[in-house]
Amino acid sequence: MTTRTATLIGFLAILLWSTLALFTAMSGRVPPFQLVGMTFVIGGLLILAITAARGQLARIRPTPASFALGLYGPFGDTALYYAAVKTAPPAEANLIHYLWPLLIVLFAALLPGGKLKLRHLIGALIGLAATALLI
């Protein structure tokens, strides 16, 4: 893959990601679980088509644990996100949803060898305060 192709793919990913709240809010009365199901089926079929075109279907061997984690983690997150955008103002729902990087830093302290330092707590408090101020 060339640098130009990778940059184009990255740009398209950012464009799609940045319009997620807008399209979710515009989806009308489609229930969140149906919306997630449709999204995941389209994405899954696209990934399968690309994998098949590259002749790499035999490399896909999901274990039950990886299948469950890969399906229910993103599915649950996306379903809750869609429900939030449909029931709360999209800007506020988006602000709250995108606190996940902050939570990753905090919960990383629970991993073996992880430590929560004062700077992590200060950063988390600043992030939460900024979110509260914006909401």
Give the residue extent of every domain in the chain: 3-88, 99-135
- By the 8 A CB rule, do 25 and 85 touch? yes
Q: How many CA atoms lie within 13 A of 37 on its CB side?
A: 5
Rounded to a whole number, what is the distance in angstroms from the first to the last CA of the chain?
42
Average pLDDT over residues 56-65: 87
102-133 pLDDT, tens digit each? 888 888 888 888 888 898 889 889 988 988 88
Reading phi first (left if > 0) and then psi (alpha if -120 to 50, else beta), residue 47 is in alpha
Is the model's pLDDT at 54 over the cut of 90? yes
DSSP state of 94: H
Tokens 């602000």 sit on residue? 95
pTM over 0.75: no
Report the distance separating Cα 121 and Cα 113, nearest Å: 17
The whole-number pLDDT of residue 6 equals 93
